[in-house]
């Protein structure tokens, strides 16, 4: 706070003149006591005369020597303060205004005006050791880079507090003011701090959301909106309740009428048969027409109750309800979606949608139809597994192998659990048995079972379509050694590693009980979980290479089942198998039945191809492969039609 004082001893006559103190007051006593405290304050000639008088009289009150004329002093000080405020209002503001020129505008959209002004006031308060509440923003120019401030100073006299404006010269005389402000506020780029030079400024008013009443306005508005919503909800609920009651009354009336009609009996007159020549029999009491010469006895009409036929009688017999779940060789697949009344197994065994090459190109353009077709396919997940304790060997609780196609490991310990692995045989093109093995990603305690399955089934190829971790979640355990590893009785050795675009090929040598076999391991790492890749090109290259290498030298006899796994063994695994079978079908028949392929796979392992995006991706991949095929020859078309 700026220190501004007065020399009491040298200005006692002025104090007497300003306050018009009574002659009974002992001014000499005050002067002698004030002379002993000359070092309390220093005089500042710029302060008004009334201010000096107020300060001197404050000293008298502090010393306790003004008790006699205290009442008269208070009465005479008040008019002087009113005169001072009136004089200040009438005088120019330039005497008290401090103009701060900034290097940038406070009307910056990246920061609010109030935050900038608050920083500016805090900087002045810190540099001058001033109270922030006594610094006021008076005006801001239109561009927002010039701000006018005023400073107040307060004094307490007894129980009364007084405030007055401090002249601008007193503030500007503070040494190093501009440099210290620039140091505290480097972001505002303060250029000048000077007097009010008559620059056109706009009066600054705090926005309404900064006013103290704003929270109450918001709270009241919220309460009003909640009240209106409550009334609307009550009215709607009352209308809905009334409509529901009316609807129930109508239904009750209709049910009563229907119940009355069903309880009625239908009566027809019964006529006994006659051995006479046939007569025209009329119902009810209508007259009977008989030939001339024949007499007829009157037969009274007898009521006859007719019993309604049951469902089995209307269908003919209950034999028509028996379903033969064993398909005959002559029965083919439906051309399209089976009836809704069919069971899941019937659907999977009969559904199909044969697409020509042109139909396949058109199908990928209408994904909505493909999505609807996919969601109609039953998942065929089994409810439980017959092997007790097998849940510990399943990566996911809901993904378990179907029993009829489950891979069973060689059991040497007479323990059913040791023969269990979450894997299924999948049929290939034209019903090729055990063409593929779809399995889950091995876990830490099932790696030995995995290699035991690969050896016992004579698998020539392993296709891995997952990363070890995806989104910080474990998807598969690393079952490949760095160079050589022993897994149970199977010794695995990495012979060679070949890096290709999108996947890695490992040549592996396996040894078990003195026998040696070679194995190819393909690791495709660019396929995200539950989503298809951006382009099927790299996957098609992998599928073609696997299809080429899984057969023997005669290109007809397969070497053994191809092991395919991702994390759960149904999503990406199903896509790979479906594309492999579809490529073979396109190449051999120049048409493809993707719906039938998926249904056949789900018969062997439930849930194959998890999402509709994956189902669409299979169509996209086969459509891209179809572009690489040439036009079919006349001989091949003739052979297909003859079959």
**DSSP strands (E only) in 501-531:** 503-512, 515-524
Q: What is the pLDDT of residue 138?
A: 78
Please identify every stretch of the chain with a pLDDT value under 50, giving residue numbers as ranges: 1-48, 50, 61-83, 85-92, 258-331, 334, 640, 643
| Burial of 355 (C-beta count, 10 Å sphere; 0-12/13-18/19+) | buried
Q: What is the pLDDT of residue 392?
A: 93
Q: Maximum distance among all alpha carbons in the chain?
A: 169
Instruction: Please enumerate, by residue number, every residue annotated as part of a binding site.
Output: 529, 566-572, 610
Q: What is the pLDDT of residue 193?
A: 84
Return the residue matching tokens 């891209």: 624
Distances (CA, A) of 216 to 210, 212, 397, 550: 12, 8, 55, 78
Return the residue matching tokens 């060789």: 329
Instruction: Please enumerate, by residue number, every residue annotated as part of a binding site for substrate.
Output: 529, 566-572, 610
Tokens, residue 522: 């393909």
Evaluate whether 202 touches 142 at the Cβ level (below 8 Å).
yes
Q: What is the pLDDT of residue 168?
A: 81
Helices (H), 387-457: 447-456
Give dist(CA 46, CA 57) in Å, integer: 19
**DSSP strands (E only) in 196-296:** 202-203
Q: What is the pLDDT of residue 262?
A: 44
Q: What is the pLDDT of residue 201?
A: 55
Give dist(CA 423, CA 563) in Å, integer: 9
Give dist(CA 96, CA 165) in Å, integer: 7
Residues assigned a catalytic role: 566
Q: What is the DSSP string of 36-63?
A: TTGGG--B-TTS-HHHHHHHHHHHHHHH
**Residues facing 148 on adjacent strands:** 99, 139
Topology classification of domain 344-628: 3.90.190
Closest Cα to residue 452, out of 477, 419, 483? 419
Q: What is the pLDDT of residue 574?
A: 95
Evaluate whether 521 touches 451 at the Cβ level (below 8 Å).
no
Q: What is the DSSP string of 342-397?
A: S-HHHHHHH-B--EEHHHHHHHTT-HHHHHHHHHTS-----S--SSTTGGGG-SST
| Burial of 120 (C-beta count, 10 Å sphere; 0-12/13-18/19+) | buried
Domain spans in the chain, listed from the N-terminal domain onward = 81-208, 344-628
pLDDT tens digits for 533-542? 888 999 999 9
Give dist(CA 162, CA 6) in Å, integer: 18
Write down the pTM of the prediction.
0.50
């Amino acid at each position: 706070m700026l220190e501004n004082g007065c020399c009491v001893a040298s200005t006692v006559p002025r104090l007497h003149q300003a306050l018009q103190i009574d002659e009974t007051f002992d001014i000499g006593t005050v002067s002698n006591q004030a002379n002993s405290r000359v070092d309390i304050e220093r005089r500042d000639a710029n302060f008004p005369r009334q201010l000096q008088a107020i300060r001197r009289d404050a000293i008298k009150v502090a010393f306790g020597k003004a008790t006699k004329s205290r009442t008269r002093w208070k009465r005479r000080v008040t008019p002087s303060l009113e005169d001072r405020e009136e004089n200040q209002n009438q005088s120019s503001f330039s005497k008290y205004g401090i103009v701060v020129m900034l290097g940038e505008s406070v009307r910056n959209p990246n920061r609010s005006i109030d935050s900038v002004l608050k920083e500016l006031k805090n900087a002045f308060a810190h540099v001058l050791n001033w109270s922030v509440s006594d610094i006021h923003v008076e005006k801001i120019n239109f561009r927002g880079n010039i701000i006018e401030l005023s400073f107040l100073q307060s004094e307490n006299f007894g129980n009364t507090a007084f405030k007055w404006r401090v002249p601008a010269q007193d503030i500007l005389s503070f040494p190093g003011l501009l440099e210290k402000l620039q140091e505290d506020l480097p972001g505002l780029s303060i250029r000048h701090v000077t007097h009010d030079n008559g620059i056109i400024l706009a009066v600054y008013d705090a926005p309404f959301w900064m006013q103290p009443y704003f929270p109450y306005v918001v709270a009241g508005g919220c309460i009003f909106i909640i009240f209106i919503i409550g009334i609307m909800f009550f009215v709607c609920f009352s209308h809905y309740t009334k409509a529901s009651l009316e609807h129930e009354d109508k239904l009750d009336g209709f049910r009563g009428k229907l119940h009355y009609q069903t309880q009625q009996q239908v009566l027809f007159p019964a006529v006994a048969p006659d051995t006479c020549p046939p007569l025209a029999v009329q119902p009810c009491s209508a007259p009977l027409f008989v030939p001339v010469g024949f007499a007829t006895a009157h037969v009274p009409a007898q009521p006859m109750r007719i019993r309604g036929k049951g469902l089995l009688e209307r269908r003919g017999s209950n034999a028509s309800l028996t379903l033969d779940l064993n398909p005959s060789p002559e029965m083919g697949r439906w051309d399209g979606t089976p009836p809704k009344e069919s069971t899941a197994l019937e659907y999977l065994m009969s559904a199909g949608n044969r697409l020509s090459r042109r139909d396949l190109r058109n199908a990928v353009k209408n994904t909505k139809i493909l999505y609807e077709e996919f969601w109609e396919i039953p998942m065929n997940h089994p409810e439980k597994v017959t092997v007790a304790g097998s849940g510990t060997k399943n990566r996911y609780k809901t993904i378990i192998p179907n029993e009829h196609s489950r891979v069973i490991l060689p059991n040497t310990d007479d323990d059913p659990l040791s023969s269990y692995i979450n894997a299924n045989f999948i049929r290939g093109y034209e019903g090729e048995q055990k063409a593929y093995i779809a399995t889950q990603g091995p876990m830490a305690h099932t790696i030995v079972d995995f290699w035991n399955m690969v050896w016992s089934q004579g698998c020539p190829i392993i296709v891995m379509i997952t990363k070890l971790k995806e989104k910080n979640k474990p998807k598969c355990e690393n079952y490949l050694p760095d160079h050589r590893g022993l897994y149970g009785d199977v010794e695995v050795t990495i012979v060679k590693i070949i890096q290709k675009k999108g996947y890695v090929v490992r040549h592996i040598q396996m040894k078990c009980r003195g026998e040696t076999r070679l194995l190819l391991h393909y690791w495709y790492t660019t396929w995200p979980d539950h989503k298809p890749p951006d382009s099927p090109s790299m996957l098609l290259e992998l599928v073609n290479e696997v299809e080429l290498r899984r057969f023997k030298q005669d290109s007809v006899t397969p070497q053994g089942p191809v092991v395919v796994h991702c994390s759960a063994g149904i999503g990406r695994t199903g896509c790979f198998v479906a594309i492999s079978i579809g490529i073979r079908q396109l190449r051999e028949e120049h048409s493809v039945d993707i719906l039938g392929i998926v249904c056949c796979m789900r018969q062997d392992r439930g849930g194959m191809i998890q999402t509709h995006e994956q189902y669409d991706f299979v169509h996209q991949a086969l459509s891209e492969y179809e572009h690489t095929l040439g036009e079919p020859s006349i001989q091949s078309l003739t052979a297909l039609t003859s079959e």
